[in-house]
Structure 1
């Protein structure tokens, strides 16, 4: 089957065409009955709430032996873990602190994985946020949503690649799945002509509370297109998964009060359940195989990237974003290029 990069870009508008297809015309799929994660060790970020917590349930239901819950609050993480331990007493469930707004926390988490885990099969980059107000983080100098959804997610992904390669069973590639949003297709992305590109996201004049979440996820798609050119599917299968529009998550908790009634009604009428949404994660890490490497998975199928990425301008932006991101990581003491060459 062709990969996402080989498929022709979609010409259908995201709204309403693709949204209606996703939410109303797609038959929900469940993993095959013989899906078995016995013996596997899984890292799941943002694991104590929403889709992450539901995904944790499903990973354990399919008999994952060890679950590392990457969470910002150890107190909230332990409360969530206690509930999971009651239901799955045979599993080894651990809570590790991970603050995606901090480079130091991301590096410490990845180092701990490399030092303490004797095995790592799967890593799911689920943690994310959608800010309604412009805020630059003092510790990194970057706008908060872009820091969490893009910089830290890409950094953790790169740092975990050698761990997944070295600590998955011989002959079985590790699995790295990055959660995305196809709302990114509708992102205005006005910064694309800015040079340099990334600093423009820290400029308040470009901040749009409606567009910042799709834009941050779009950056992840642009970067992952390039990232998977440096990773062999024989070592680590890397893919993106789009769970759809989901009800019951805390993603939109910071929207203005006057918007919340609309969001409630919109979700009630059109959103998928968290159980359905989380099943796309299981599909991405346990059902799909090497054919999904470098692909976007939507509606349990391999789909194209955003049309922009197939254009000459899109490819130029991807190259520029790649260079700027690796330069950013070099500034914080991470030789991402060296890691990718060695892994």
Structure 2
């Protein structure tokens, strides 16, 4: 478990040098960030992360500038910094492990990336926004923000070219009109009119940014237009499978895999169906951290403790590590009980056999529940 220690922060909500659990630190940081924004002030909070029950050596240090609007909570602050770091391959796994540990102990509400909607869409009636999926709102706000900044930059550039008369003013005017049109498309999408933005993306496929392609693909997936998504990603069926798998929709994954079968899709579906032995027979699967965790668990459920330990080295999932330890301990206890039952049967101690058998059944239930 992760813990946080703030070494410099002048606020009653945090005690200096106090060790607090990561989830509590994130929750408090979100509250303090909100307070600082409302009071229009900034506070610098120096902190470091440690592993609970470790020697106290920091695994991450940083400074969270409360009230700066740069991040809504401590987790988002750390995540943003880690993603921006330029590190070598040797430390890339350490980064992924830390991100995984933070995400595993947090409720989803703290994992949502914040976008300041009022800056880019100030004229939009917020009360009319439909109940879009969270990823849709975040993606639309994000891209709308980028386009808005582009629009502002274009407008500023226009004022310069008009003053010196060295550029084609009409061309820039048309560009501003096009950017404004894009903003309108995002506003319609926020109000539930996905058809409008889908139509726009379809007409401008060749000119879409990476962010726009991602949003376009997700909107198409919502409508189960799998062929269109595959075409969008130039027939990379494996990538599209991973995209669907990331969304966590098993039913949609089954539909997609029926039309575009891949080893990765088969792997994910076998795990969902708890067919762990069949999963382990697949050898040509592109492994991700998530699939490595799935494979570790599959080894465990099939009783291959050593295989689970070996695969754990590729993902370092703390929860799986604890499951392996528990599985190993229960397996040893069951073996000892079987020996004790045999001895009791030979001695014709029926009462002992019954007690031991009851205990064995209880341990087997625990083993199955892992």
Same fold (TM over 0.5): no
TM-score by length of 2: 0.23
Query: Whose helix fraction is larger, Structure 1's or Structure 2's?
Result: 2
User: Which is strand-richer, 1 or 2?
Assistant: 1
Between Structure 1 and Structure 2, whose CA radius of gyration is higher? 2
What is the TM-score with the length of structure 1 in the denominator?
Answer: 0.25
